[in-house]
Amino acid sequence: MNALLLILGLGVCALVVITSPTEGALALLVGLLVAAVPFSLLMRRDEERTFLLRLFMSGLMLRVLIGTIIFAFDLQDFFGGDALTYDFFGEAQVKAWMGDSYSRSLVSRFVGEAGGSGWGFIYLVAGVYGIVGRNILAIQFINAVLGATTAIIVFFSAGHVFNNRRVARLAAVAVAFYPSLVLWSSQALKDGPVVFFLAMSILATLKLGEKFSVKYVLVLIVCLFAVLSFRFYVFYMITVAIAGAFIIGMQRLNASNFVRQFIILVTIGLTLTYFGIMRYANLQFERYGSLQKIQYSRLDASTRAQSGFLKDVDVSTTEGAFSAIPLGILYLLFAPFPWQIGSLRQSITLPEMIVWWASFPMLVLGLWFSIKYRLRQVSPILIFTVMLSLVYSIFQGNVGTAYRQRAQLLVFYFIFVAVGYVLLQEKREEKRRLKLT
């Protein structure tokens, strides 16, 4: 198996260089340097090391392959036109750092128009371009590493909460190979890094719920800043979820646990305040924190594309927002539906949607079990996914955008799907055992 992975890896690297002779070799070097970090950390593990290394390498090779195909055949517009936008403004930011006032004004105007969200990813792109030159394939390979690493993080999170190897493995495999998660982390889009930092935030929270660790406090703070700079509105929800989990307590409450959780909350709060997050939050809420602003954004998304839905819904009032939730949740979770498929881009989503629809009963079963038996431990995941699902059910008005934003939820949904699947599997095994006896 290891030999096969090595051969496949060399084949993928050769394909990258052959299809992209100008950018390919340098992009591979960047990707390998970034991949060396999670690879070296996995090499230090004794338990499950072989499985995790194989999963990481397989997920990474798949993403590099998909990313290379998208780059070589200029499919960015087809799969994710925002990649070209980030490429352009990343290069403009490099010029701005070099003193070009026109480029600086371009970037400032874009960040303002984009709602203050995504400036962190522009800085990431610009930072890479400043070192290796303009190379969008290098950004794709960095995202590929983050996407493959996300599967490993989900493995540790699921294992921490449920202490079940089959649940952890199944959830990690789903995140590593589910088509849309692979697609979004194979391109120069901010979706892959956002999902990575969200998953890492949850893992750090789970670890801190068990015992205090300076390392995980620092990891959590860095991840929260990254989420804020990539997609600011998700930052507020993950912060509330983390705070709520610490207040509820992920273990039985006693004096020691209370003091630990209090110290962690105060440390994170003071750090965020010191770096001006409260002032930034106030500005964001003043500018975007009204239902009227959400209605403008939702109406624009639902009317400018053929895949818009619920175009006549008005969420500018509290009553209207609540009335949009049931159908909004339905579209967020299950769209595109078969009758909505009218193009090649929508058609290629059908196989994975069938898998997802078939998995939903296991998601419900896994949620039921988790709430009944693991509520404290799973509270950060549960609070975050519920909050983000409700917000997107109100905010989203476009099938394509809902399909893309679902990736932020799928990585956590798949943990519950894995729980439901293992419960069914264990029930079948118990029935077989009883028959044999």
Backbone angles phi, psi at 58, to 5 degrees: -65, -45
Q: Is the dihedral of CA 381, 225, 406, 390 positive or negative?
A: positive
Q: How confident is the model at residue 275 (pLDDT cuts 50, 70, 90)?
A: low
Residue-level pLDDT at 250: 62
Least confident range from 3-12, 185-194, 361-370: namely: 3-12
Question: Taking the domains of the chain in order of start, what are their residue ranges?
Answer: 2-280, 309-436
Q: Two tokens at 224? A: 């929260």
Q: Two tokens at 426? A: 């264990």
Q: How confident is the model at residue 304 (pLDDT cuts 50, 70, 90)?
A: low
Please check the confidence at residue 254 and state whether its pLDDT lies above 80. Answer: no
C-alpha to C-alpha distance for 285 and 255, rounded to whole angstroms: 36
Residue-level pLDDT at 193: 96
Q: What is the mean pLDDT of the segment spanning 123-138?
A: 96
SS3 call for 308: strand
Which residue's entry shows tokens 């769209």? 335
Residue-level pLDDT at 70: 96
Identify which of 429, 364, 373 has the alpha carbon closest to the alpha carbon of residue 162: 373
Most confident of 222-226, 274-278, 294-298: 222-226
Which residue's entry shows tokens 């120069």? 188
Q: Two tokens at 116? A: 């203050």
Please check the confidence at residue 159 and state whether its pLDDT lies above 80. Answer: yes
Q: How many CB atoms lie within 10 A of CB 109?
A: 11
Alpha helices (H) in 348-374, listed in sequence order: 350-373
Please check the confidence at residue 60 and state whether its pLDDT lies above 90. Answer: yes
Identify which of 251, 249, 143 has the alpha carbon closest to the alpha carbon of residue 197: 143
Residue 123 identity (one-letter amino acid): Y
**Residues near 55 by beta carbon (within 8 Å), at least 6 away in sequence:** 148, 151, 152, 155, 172, 173, 176
SS3 call for 187: coil
* pTM score of the predicted model: 0.93
Least confident range from 40-49, 90-99, 231-240, 274-283: namely: 274-283
Long-range contact pairs involving 350-355 (C-beta distance under 8 Å, separation at least 24): 351/179, 352/178, 352/179, 352/180, 355/178
Residue-level pLDDT at 274: 66
Q: What is the mean pLDDT of the segment spanning 60-75?
A: 95
pLDDT higher at 371 or 396 = 371
Please check the confidence at residue 316 and state whether its pLDDT lies above 90. Answer: no
pLDDT digits (tens, 9 = 90+) for 97-118: 999 999 999 998 888 654 455 7
Contact criterion met (CB below 8 Å) for 332 and 389? yes
Please check the confidence at residue 197 and state whether its pLDDT lies above 90. Answer: yes
Contact criterion met (CB below 8 Å) for 309 and 331? yes
Please check the confidence at residue 255 and state whether its pLDDT lies above 70. Answer: no
SS3 call for 73: coil
Residue-level pLDDT at 305: 60
Residue-level pLDDT at 179: 94
Residue-level pLDDT at 313: 72
Residue-level pLDDT at 78: 87
Residues, the chain, total? Answer: 437
Identify which of 402, 399, 407, 405 has the alpha carbon closest to the alpha carbon of residue 346: 399
**3-state secondary structure labels for all residues of 235-272:** HHHHHHHHHHHHHHCCCCCCHHHHHHHHHHHHHHHHHH
C-alpha to C-alpha distance for 264 and 321, rounded to whole angstroms: 34
> What's the CA angle centered on 412, arms 409 and 418, to 5 degrees?
130
Q: How confident is the model at residue 129 (pLDDT cuts 50, 70, 90)?
A: very high
C-alpha to C-alpha distance for 437 and 428, rounded to whole angstroms: 14
Mean of per-residue pLDDT scores for the chain: 87
pLDDT digits (tens, 9 = 90+) for 351-361: 899 999 999 99
Q: Two tokens at 408? A: 């932020």
Backbone angles phi, psi at 308, to 5 degrees: -70, 150
Contact criterion met (CB below 8 Å) for 331 and 340? no
